A = this chain, B = another copy of it.
Amino acid sequence: MKEREEYKVEDMLCFTIYATSRELTRIYRPTLEKFGLTYPQYLVMVVLWETRESTVTALGDRLLLDSGTLTPLLKRLQEAELIVRKRSVEDERKVEIGLTEKGAILQEQMKHVSVEIFAEICGTAEKYMQSLEQLKNLLEKANEIARRSE
C-alpha cells in the first residue's frame, strides 16, 4: 500500500463506502418517494414483509440500528398506517411490530423496486453477486471490530 494514497479521500476505502451509501440512497429516493417511504423506512418494511411481525430489538438486530433510531422511525410508519405497534402482554418491556393491511398490500406494489434499481446499478447478475459477497465479508469484519471496541 502506497503511503501517499492515505491523503486523498478518494483512495480511502471508508470514504468510498460512505459516499456510495449516500449515492445509492439518492438513487432510491425518487422511487421510494412515490410510496411515501424513506430508505431506512423501506428497509424496515422489507424485514417485516419477510417476518410478518417483529419487536423493536429484533428489527435493530437485523438492520444494525438501535432503538433511538428505530422508535421515531416506527412511529412515522405507524402514522402512515403501514404498521402497528403494540406492547407485549407476556413481557411488557417489549413492543411488538406488525403489518397493517395497507402495509401488506404495499409489498405487492413495491415488488419490482429493488430488482429494477439493482439492474440499473450493477448491470449483470454476476457483477452484483461478486460485489455483494465481498461486501458481506467486509460488513461481517467491520461489525466484529465495532462490537469489540465498545
- Chain B residues, CB < 8 A from A22: 64
Copies in the complex: 2
A136 touches B23 (CB 8 A): no
Known: A20-B138, A27-B146, A131-B138. A13 touches B121 (CB 8 A): yes
> In this complex, what residue of B is CB-closest to A12?
B114
Find out whether the CB atom of A115 lies under 8 angstroms from the CB atom of B17. Answer: no
**How many angstroms between the C-alpha atoms of A16 and B9 in the bound complex?**
21
Minimum-distance CB pairs A-B, first 10: A23-B142, A21-B21, A1-B125, A26-B146, A20-B139, A16-B135, A14-B24, A23-B146, A17-B21, A6-B114
Q: Which chain A residues have a beta carbon within 8 Å of chain B's beta carbons? A: 1, 6-28, 30, 39, 43, 46-47, 49-50, 62-64, 114-115, 117-118, 120-122, 125, 128-132, 134-136, 138-139, 141-143, 145-146, 149-150
